[in-house]
Each structure stands twice: as C-alpha cells, then as structure tokens.
Structure 1
Amino acid sequence: ALLSVLKPGEVRIETDTGIESIYVSGGIVEVQPNVVTIFSDTAIRASDLNEAKALEAKQRAEAAMQDATENQDISATQAALAESMAQLQMISKIRNKKN
C-alpha cells in the first residue's frame, strides 16, 4: 500500500454516475491495488461549500495572525488560513467550470 499526506483542497471521485468534487481539509490517502481510502477531518461536497463562511473564516484567520505571538498560535492560525483559502480556490474553480 502507498500512503501519502493530503493538503487542503479538492479530491475528485470518479464513479459510474460521473465525477464528484469534494473539499478535504487535509489528511492521509491510502492507495491499494483495488481501493483508495481517504482519511480527513473535514470533507465537504463542492456543491455544499459556502463562500460567505469561507471568506469570514479567512478574515478571522488574517486578523488572528496579527495578534498571534506564540509558535502554537501562529501554526494554528496559518492552518486555518490555508484551509479557508483552499475552500475559496475550490469555489472559484467550480464557478469557472459553470461559465
């Protein structure tokens, strides 16, 4: 089996009915000959992503970056910022596909 780390972003799942895009907050992917398994704390269907919430989360993370003083605070804030930016990028990508 192959194991790899996933960054926040899009995972595309191909089924008999088509391709579905899912946002994951990061995690681990395990690839075996006949099965691929993804372990992630958060998985959201692309159609369920909320741009307003993602923008709000991005703004909160940016504001928190200004106040972060300890390494732990900075790391957590950077992770939150990366997650909200990945969601916004996926929303933008989906919007461009529709046009």
Structure 2
Amino acid sequence: VPTVQGELGIYPRHEPIMSLVRPGALRLTVQGEAEEVLVAVSGGVLEVQPDKITVLADVAVRSTEMDQARAEAAKKAAETGVSEARDEKSLAEAHKALAAAIAQLKTLDYLRSQKNK
C-alpha cells in the first residue's frame, strides 16, 4: 500500500493501524490466485485490523482497465484544469483528477518494470 509514510506490506494478523494513502499502485495478493491484483488509487485512507483491511479511496482503477494513452491524456487535461481553475472547487476537482491520472501512470510504470525482470 502506498502511504504517506512509505510503502507498507500488510500480512495476516497485522497490528491495527490507520494511515493516509498517497496516489500510486495498491498491490493485492488474493488467496488462490497466482498473480497480484494491481489497483491504482488516487489517495485515501487505510485501516488495518487483524482480520480485515479497508482502503477508502476517491478513485480506484484495476490495472486491467488502464490504458497508457488515456492516462497521459487525462493527466494533461487535469494539468490544464489546475492552471485554468477559477475557484477553489474547480481547483480541488482538477487536483483530484490529476492524482487519479498520476496513480494510473505509476501503476502502469510498475507493471512495465515487472515485465522487464
């Protein structure tokens, strides 16, 4: 989990914690599945209990639904939105869109680096 304190690895029966999640790739190991599940998150909150993990995120996109060109276009549009924002609400929405696009790009970069190993 990408958190503001750094990457956290969570194992069964982990001590309870709460942390802020930063934009990036959330990597999940699902019991019975051979490959990791990757989800791009734009930020949020992580809560870990000994028998349950909860991530609340504004935007979460599975890697299977991502496209490099769309993510780059979304980032460019969000950057334009940030520079052209006229009020606090539109600025916040543009920052939210930018965080989501950056999270997707980071996840796609991670996938690419794993394929090159």
State the TM bucket, normalised to the shorter chain. 0.7 to 0.9
Deviation at 1:27, TM superposition (A): 2.2
Q: How many residue pairs end up in the alignment?
A: 99
What residue in structure 1 maps to residue 4 of structure 2?
Answer: none
Runs of 4+ aligned structure 1 residues displaced above 3 Å come to none
Root-mean-square deviation (Å): 1.9
Q: How does 1:47-62 map to 2 (within 5 A)?
A: 47-62=64-79
Q: Distance in 2 between matches of 1:68 and 1:98?
A: 38
Secondary structure of 2:39 counterpart: strand
Percent identity of equivalent pairs: 32
Of residues 11-20 and 55-64 in structure 1, the stretch that sits farther from structure 2 once superposed is 11-20
Deviation at 1:24, TM superposition (A): 1.9
Determine the C-alpha separation between the residues in 2 that align with 1:42 and 1:82: 9
Which residues of structure 2 form unaligned runs of 5+? 1-15
Contiguous gaps of at least 5 residues in structure 1: none
Q: 1:21 aligns with which of 24, 33, 38?
A: 38
- Between structures 1 and 2, the one with greater helix share: 1
Tell me if the contact between 2:38 and 2:107 (Cα under 8 Å) persists in the aligned partners. no
TM superposition score normalised by structure 2: 0.71
Partners of 1:45 and 1:72 in 2: CA distance: 27
What's the TM-score, normalizing by structure 1? Answer: 0.81
Task: Provide the C-alpha distance between the structure 2 equivalents of 1:62 and 1:11, rounded to a whole number of angstroms.
Answer: 23
Partner residue in 1 for 2:84: 67
Distance in 1, matches of 2:44 and 2:98, equals 16
Q: Counterparts in 2 of 1:1-99, with a 5 A limit?
A: 1-16=16-31, 17-18=33-34, 19-99=36-116
